[in-house]
Each structure stands twice: as structure tokens, then as C-alpha cells.
Amino acid sequence: MKWMKERDLLIAQTMAFVQSVTGKKPDADKLVATSAALAAPEAAGTPDTRTSFVPDLEAVLADTSAAVAPLKPVQIARPDFRDDFQSEIRARVANFRAHQERFNREREAYCSATMAKVHAALREDSGLSRPGK
């Protein structure tokens, strides 16, 4: 059960720290009188590393739960990327068309060269007559 007390004290100290950071002063009636608990380690000769006050955990939690309002999402204006996307798409389409036109030119050149070779071979073969005809 000691760890539960330590946990509760840690939560209470954290809440007190949050209140001190936010500028909210804890009420005096909500503080637990911990002078006896804090004085006991000092009396025994061991130094105390805890803060000088520990607020009542239930009082702090009740106080903060009533004060906390639900958060509303922040509306962030989105930058308009449509122009960027459209220009990128146009550039890609133009690049694709140029690539396809280059392929078509190369294919036509290859076909023309191959057909020229075939026609030349046919002309050479036609010069040679077959002996049976």
C-alpha cells in the first residue's frame, strides 16, 4: 500500500505544480496539513525531498475537472495545392506524350530501314532468274 500513497502524493504534487505554473493559486482550505508527515523525516535525521505542501488529491481533482473545458479543434487553413498538382500533372502528361512520340519515330525509322532492306533483297533475288522458268 506504500506505493499507492506515493502515487497519490506524486499526483497531488504534479497537480500543485500545474497550478503554480498556470498561475492559479491553490486554496488554503484544500491543502492537507502535512507538516507532521513532512516533519517526521526531518526529526529522524533524514532529509526530505518533497515539497512543503501537498494538496488534497480529491479536492484538486474535483477543482480541475470542473475548470477544464472540452477542447475545440483548431481550424487550420489548408494551402491550395490544386495549381501545383495541376501543373505537375500537365508536365507529366507532356513528358509522357514526348516519350511516346519519340518511340513512334524510332519505330517508324526501324520499320522503314527494315522494309528498305527487304525490298533491296527482293530486287537482288529478282535479278537472278530461276532456271526452271
* More confident position, 133 or 89: 89
Q: Tell me: do 8 and 62 sit in the same domain.
A: yes
Q: Which of 67, 94, 118 is the last residue of a domain?
A: 67
**61 three-state secondary structure:** helix
Q: Is residue 72 part of a domain?
A: no
Q: Cβ-count burial of 19 within 10 angstroms (0-12 exposed, 13-18 middle, 19+ buried)?
A: middle
Q: Which residue would you say has higher pLDDT here, 72 or 102?
A: 102
Q: Other C-beta atoms within 10 Å of 93: how many?
A: 10
- The reply to whether the predicted model has a pTM over 0.75 is no
Q: Are residues 94 and 59 in the same domain?
A: no
- Which has the minimum average pLDDT: 52-61, 73-82, 92-101? 52-61
- Choosing from 67, 101, 118, the residue where a domain stops is 67
88 and 118 together in one domain? yes
The percent of residues in the chain predicted with pLDDT above 90, rounded, is 29
Mean pLDDT, residues 68-82 taken together: 72
Average pLDDT for 73-84: 77
Domain boundary among 67, 91, 108: 67
Domain that holds residue 102: 77-133
131: pLDDT strictly greater than 80: no
Mean pLDDT, rounded, for 79-93: 87
10 and 58 in a common domain: yes
pLDDT of residue 121: 93
**Same-domain check for residues 21 and 62:** yes
Given a contact cutoff of 8 angstroms between Cβ atoms, the answer to whether 54 and 78 are in contact is: no
H-run or E-run covering 70: none
Structural domains counted in the chain: 2
Location of C-alpha cell 472540452: 70
Under DSSP, is residue 55 helix (H, G, I), strand (E, B) or coil? strand
In a domain, 9, yes or no: yes
